[in-house]
Structure 1
Amino acid sequence: MDGLNSLFLLCGLLLFLSVISTTLSARLGMPLLLMFLAVGVLAGEEGIGGIEFDNFFTATAIGQLALAVILLDGGLRTKLDSFRIALKPAAVLASWGVIATVALLGVFATWYMDWDWRFGILMAAIVGSTDAGAVFNLLRNSGVRLNERVQATLEIESGANDPMAIFLVTALISLTLTPEESGVLSFLWMLLLQLGFGLAAGFIGGRILSRLTRRLNLAEGLYALMIVSGGLLIFGLTNLIGGSGFLAVYLAGIIVGNRHSHATEHVLRVMDGLAWLAQASMFVVLGLLVTPHRLWEQGLDALAIAAFLMLVARPIAVVSGIWKFHYSRREMAYISWVGLRGAVPITLAMMPLVMGVPNALMLFDVAFAVVILSLLIQGTTIPVVARWLKVTVPPKPEPTDSREIWLSESESVPLLAYEVLADSDAEGMHPDEVAQDLDLLSTRCFALIRNGKREELGLDTRLQAGDIAWYIVPPEQVETIAKRFAETGSSVRMNFNFFGEFVVNPSSMAGDLADAYGLQLNEEERNLTLRGLFKKRFEGNLPVEGDRIHIGDFILTVKETDHDGSMKWLGLKCPS
């Protein structure tokens, strides 16, 4: 019994230290995932903890379980609008992108390490795919707002490329261990089963789960438990029938997350904590597996492989895959750079060890070192490179918090909190004045928090900087109210610098704008609306916020889009 209690104490201590270390991570600007890894390494056999742990089978089970939870959470937060914008290019990157990366890196690793070609390509397949956990975590906590097309492409690619990576690793292990029984047709059949069963199981399982969340009347905390257990059920069942459990659980999360119900809010709040627990547990366990002196011995080789992966293989794979979708050079450069490696390569590196591939420990050490370098170099520079390549858009005013009160199965009242910023439009106004030109019957302030305490609303109440005002706001007015609380002189100047001095209706004729400002357009373009001109310049692709076209020295920028992706307002920037 003492041994069991000691195990509980050890697990609790490691997770507690991992969570506490995130405050240090924020100060140092390091990815949180590295801090979890560091706690595991320090607790390992060559660290201060001295814990001897080399059970790769257990670590693989923990890693796959954690990845399933992370992908489920990522799917729940992925909006279908993202698929409308970036499904095709992301699918190309998740398939061709992985194959091209593996082929290029495999040739380099075979030559540089003087390995057998099958061993070199196996190593490349292990680190060839981007990691969903790392991408979701680092992009959403980077502090910058990316161009929607770039963000959607990276997130969908990372969630969908695991089947191809697993297929390649499995095929190459079979080719290494039993070359006489391995054939192209059997590999292709395996890939079709992985994708087919994964898509089918994810779609069916997601629909079932979404129906259950809408129809079952459970205690609030049980909805998230039902979604997690259902997701793991889909994951395990899909793997058993030969499909991709990772693809299935990600797709199921997308379906559940996009069918709004009374359970959605509770599920997302609980899933956020579960996803963090999964990431912390997984990286701590992976850190325990590492022997630092072996990692140091492979450091130079891992640096060369990581450099080739980041600077040659990934960029070539990205450009060759998505150039026809008319991404700008800056966007392709950023997508190439954010090819983050995380827990997936380390988990895949354990497969050769478990299956008995000769010298597989070397593969594990090199893969682990590549992941650390990727997180250190790419993970820490995500916001810097985004600003440098100009793939960011100005921050969007948003509520600081939100709640929903469900009145029935399909009707709810949204409650939103807004913080009053100094120099904003709302400062000095009565809470009701903020929405006086809107529908006062549906938009109203019902609570004001000042210095952490509730302030009684009266006729002489005036909003002060730092106040938190809670409103009932219909969906179509959420952003309008947010601007009045968040827009200050500096934010307005930032928007002017980015979008331009004037707001233009995209339904306006391009010829009228050309006549007003003396712009040169050919006869075909003059007869188009500005919306049509954007579509023509973008060759049919859907423009997103921040996309630009040049007409002489003037710049038209997409300033705002509707929920269906159509342009709502354009910004016009005149030459200095």
Structure 2
Amino acid sequence: MFDGVFNTDYIILMAALLLIAGVVTAKFSTRLGVPALVLFMLVGMLAGSDGIGFIYFDNAKYAQLIGILALVIILFEGGLQTKWSTVKPVTIPALSLATFGVLITSAVVATAAKFILDVTWLEAFLFGAIVGSTDAAAVFAGLKNVNLKERLGATLEAESGTNDPMAVFLTISFIQLLMTDQPNYYLLVGSFFWQMGMGLLIGLALGKIAIYAINRINLDSSGLYPVFAMAFALLTYSVTALVGASGLLAVYVAALVLGNAELTYRHSIFRFNEGFAWMMQILMFVILGLLVFPVQLFQLDIIVRGLILSFILILVARPLAVFISTIGMRFDLKEKLFLSWAGLRGAVPIVLATFPMISGLSNSQLFFNVVFFVVLTSALVQGSTISFFAEKLKLSGAKKETPIHSLELVSIGKANAEVIEVEISEDNALVNLSLAEIMFPKDVLVNAIIRNGNLITPYGETRIFSGDILYVLVSKHSKQQLKNLLDQKRSEDPVLKEAAE
């Protein structure tokens, strides 16, 4: 009995220490100029048997389970934060990169892997498929602190959110081809369209159902709404995967639908998922770090072959895929160069590299070690220089607007009121107007104004300036009217006056 308790307590202690280490490394990653995901993996490698020796972990099945679960949560959070108005104009180039781009990248890398790794052509294409896609977790994290042009950032985020299914499909297909004596290629083509088509449809359907359910259900605690939303993310993935379609694509689509709808307790849902995604990102990369053995990874043979393949992936395969996939899509040379450089590899290739290990294929351990080294190289070289390249190529965009958040004070089941937080931009029609001059809708009260970090108690004569953060109490039925008022721009003064009347 005591052994069981001791083991349980030990595991909980290790989990706590690893999470603390992950949060601390994330805090210092920006100062060190190293992507957080690299530090997370290093934490896992140090805690493993070849490091300090706290944890011995070599179970590829558990690593795959944790990795896929984490990817679902990370993709869900990324989809929630993505504005459809931003993604819509770049849908075609993003999908082109997510499909044709992955195919081209995989083919080029596979050709190189055939000779560098000395494997069969099918094994080489399996390796190419594993590293063919960019990684959502790495791209979302890498772009958070980069003030990039909206179109470029949207293209990269949409690509990384939708290209994982293509890589998963290719990886599983090549594993099946390697394990089957008489493969059916027509069946694979049909499987591709089924996975992508049904993934899209189920994601749209469950996204709409989730919106209806979240807005109609009357829960006593506001903390249950984020849990309810997360349950729909897991439901979307599992239902889609069980019918043989792409669960990852469905999750991203459902999150995109949810994130662009009016939701009850929207702010609570977003903040919960942001924190949960960070936790799962830390857990995933630490676990993947534990799975690799540095003694095997940092051998001269792996280092040399890994560096050559990384060089080909970063400087040949990815640029070739970008330049071909975006022909006629109004990207100039600098933008294509940046799209090429920002194609980060991360958790997805490492998780996919566990598939051959679980299937028991020959050379699976070689593939895992080389893939891990390629990801490490991509994260270190590309991830740490994204901001630098954006500045050098002069691709920085306008300051990102702070979205209107809903800070719910009490459960809707007890009171029909919320607090809206909004940052006033320079071109907002309310700038330089006093509160008394603004005809707010009924059931609206400006509670506080934050100006230059200081709290200002608002009165009727208090004027609103650019950069002010307003906290406004509003009843639910007046929320949309208030939002329309706060969204007005200076060029739309007549609309503002009409709303005030």
Sort the TM-score into its range (normalised by shorter chain): 0.7 to 0.9
SS in 1 for 2:306: helix
Indicate conservation of the 8 Å contact 1:262/1:406, yes or no. no
> Which 5+ residue runs of structure 2 have no aligned equivalent?
474-480, 493-501
- The residue aligned with 1:382 is 386
SS at match of 1:181: coil
Indicate if the aligned counterparts of 1:224 and 1:271 stay in contact, CA closer than 8 A. Answer: yes
Instruction: Give the root-mean-square deviation of aligned CA atoms.
Output: 3.3
Q: Is the 8 A contact 2:440 2:482 kept in 1?
A: no
- Confirm whether residue 325 of structure 1 aligns to residue 329 of structure 2: yes
1:142 and 2:141 correspond = no
Matched residue of 1:128: which SS?
coil
How far apart in 2 are the matches of 1:439 and 1:464?
14
* Matching of residues 154-193 of structure 1 within 5 Å: 154-178=156-180, 180-193=181-194
Q: CA deviation at 1:337?
A: 0.9
Counterpart position of 2:343: 339
Give the aligned partner of residue 499 of structure 1: none
Deviation digits for residues 140-165 of structure 1, max 9, x if unmatched? x2242x22211111111111111211
Shift of 1:285: 0.5
Q: Secondary structure at the match of 2:57?
A: coil
2:259 match = 257
The Cα offsets for residues 5-38 of structure 1, whole Å up to 9 and x where unpaired, read as 1111111111111112222212112211112111
Deviation string 1:370-412 (CA, Å, 9 cap, x unpaired) is 1111111111111111111122123246479763679989x97
Shift of the 371–213 alpha-carbon distance from structure 1 to 2, 3 Å rule, reads same
Q: Partner amino acid for 1:189? A: G
CA contact (8 A) 1:86 1:149 kept: yes
Unaligned runs of 5+ in 1: 484-502, 506-576
1:555-574 correspondence to structure 2 within 5 Å: none
Moved more, 267-276 or 43-52: 43-52
- Give the number of equivalent residue pairs: 473
Q: Which has the higher contact order (CA 8 A, sep 6+)?
A: 2
CA distance in 2, matches of 1:399, 1:96: 34
Contact 2:22 2:40 in 1 (8 A): yes
One-letter amino acid of the structure 2 residue matched with residue 10 of structure 1:
M
Task: Tell me, in whole angstroms, the C-alpha distance in 1 between the residues paired with 2:391 and 2:304.
Answer: 30
Specify the SS of the correspondent of 2:31.
helix
Tell me the SS of whatever aligns to 1:157. helix
- Residue 350 (structure 1) aligns with: 354
Whose radius of gyration is greater, 1 or 2?
1
Q: SS state of the match for residue 220, structure 1?
A: coil
Equivalence for 2:215: 214
* Separation in 2, partners of 1:388, 1:217: 51
Deviation at 1:50, TM superposition (A): 3.9
Partner of 2:278: 276
Give the letter for the 1:415 counterpart. Answer: I
Could you say if the C-alpha distance between residues 467 and 439 of structure 1 is closer, same or farther in structure 2, counting changes exceeding 3 Å? closer
Shift in CA distance, 412/159, structure 1 to aligned 2, threshold 3 Å:
farther
Flag the structure with higher helix content.
2
Q: Report deviation, 1:441.
A: 3.5
1:226 aligns to 2:231 (yes or no): no
Matches within 5 A, 1:152-551: 152-178=154-180, 180-218=181-219, 219-297=221-299, 298-396=302-400, 398=402, 403=407, 415-416=420-421, 435=434, 439-441=438-440, 445-448=446-449, 456=457, 470=471, 474-475=482-483, 478=486
SS at match of 2:58: coil
Paired residue type of 1:80:
W
In structure 2, the residue matched to 1:564 is none
Counterpart CA distance in 2 for 1:445 and 1:432 is 15
Closer/same/farther in 2, CA of residues 479 and 285 from structure 1, 3 Å limit: same
Letter in 1 for 2:208: R
C-alpha distance 372-183 of structure 1, shift in aligned 2 (>3 A): same
Answer whether contact 1:41 1:292 (CA < 8 A) is retained: yes
Corresponding residue for 2:44? 40
Deviations 1:116-135 (A, max 9, x none): 22221111110010111111
> CA offset at residue 243 of structure 1?
0.5
**Aligned residue type for 1:111:** F
* Percent identity for Structure 1 against Structure 2: 37
For residues 466 and 86 of structure 1, the distance between their equivalents in structure 2, rounded to whole angstroms, comes to 30
- Equivalent in 1, 8, 13 of residue 12 of structure 2: 8
**Aligned mate of 1:68, from 59, 68, 72:** 72
The one-character-per-residue Cα deviations of 1:355-377 (angstroms, maximum 9, x if unpaired) are 01102001000111111111111
8 Å CA contact 1:432–1:445 kept in 2: the answer is no
Letter in 2 for 1:72: F
User: How far apart are 1:200 and its partner, in Å?
Assistant: 2.1
Q: Distance in 2 between matches of 1:86 and 1:326?
A: 10
Give the AA of the match of 2:196: L
Give yes or no for contact 2:146–2:387 (8 Å, CA) kept in 1. yes
1:446 deviation in Å?
3.1
1:247 offset after TM fit, Å?
A: 0.6
Cα separation, 2, equivalents of 1:205 and 1:432: 40
The one-character-per-residue Cα deviations of 1:70-109 (angstroms, maximum 9, x if unpaired) are: 1111111122113321111111111111001111111111
Alignment of 1:115-126 (within 5 A): 115-126=119-130
Which residue among 25, 30, 34 is the counterpart of 1:30?
Answer: 34
Selected match of 2:98 from 89, 94, 100:
94
The answer to which of 470-479 and 112-121 deviates more is: 470-479
Task: Give the alignment's TM-score, normalised by structure 2.
Answer: 0.86
Q: Is the 8 A contact 1:399 1:419 kept in 2?
A: no
Tell me the distance in 2 between the aligned counterparts of 1:4 and 1:123: 38
Deviation at 1:470, TM superposition (A): 4.2
- Tell me the amino acid that sits aligned with residue 199 of structure 2: G
**Separation in 1 of the partners of 2:328 and 2:259?**
31
> Any conservation in 1 of the 2:434–2:464 contact (CA below 8 Å)?
no
